[in-house]
Amino acid sequence: EAGVAQSPRYKIIEKRQSVAFWCNPISGHATLYWYQQILGQGPKLLIQFQNNGVVDDSQLPKDRFSAERLKGVDSTLKIQPAKLEDSAVYLCASSSLTGYEQYFGPGTRLTVT
């Protein structure tokens, strides 16, 4: 089966610019996650969707980050405006409703200059 797809793989922007990341989960997976992984750290959950509803967005900096999953499949994560500390890898993962396993995409490496 195809894995979790993310694009772009790399992005370099200047601070105060905006950026968007796209994720296509594994077919049939109801739950989708966005994580931020700063260099040398473990991933930090930003937002969790179940179908097109938000389950947990407690760690999402809502003044600048937004995410949507309008049709319960693909998702986009947006940062506007970006700050230097947003430089990180943004990972998307998906899972089925009944399974423990989370499957991660390759990530988008964001560099804010």
The reply to whether 12 sits near other proteins by the rule CB under 8 A is no
Q: For residues 54 and 29, is the Cβ–Cβ distance under 8 A?
A: no
Give whichever of 20 and 30 is closer to other proteins, judged by the CB atom.
30
In the list 77, 88, 105, 110, the residue contacting other proteins (rule: CB under 8 A) is 105
- Residues in 17-46 that interact with other proteins by CB under 8 A: 30-31, 40-45
The label of the residue with tokens 């995410």 reads 67
Count Cβ atoms below 10 Å from residue 108 Cβ, excluding itself. 22
- Shortest Cβ distance from residue 17 to other proteins (Å)? 23
- Shortest Cβ distance from residue 33 to other proteins (Å)? 8
The three-state secondary structure class of 70 is coil
Q: Report the run of H or E that residue 112 belongs to, with start and end.
A: strand 108-112
Nearby residues of 52 by Cβ (< 8 Å), 6 or more positions away = 69, 70, 71, 72
The reply to whether 48 sits near other proteins by the rule CB under 8 A is yes
The reply to whether 111 sits near other proteins by the rule CB under 8 A is no
Binding footprint of other proteins on the chain (CB under 8 A): 4, 30-31, 40-45, 48, 50, 55-56, 91, 93, 95-107, 109
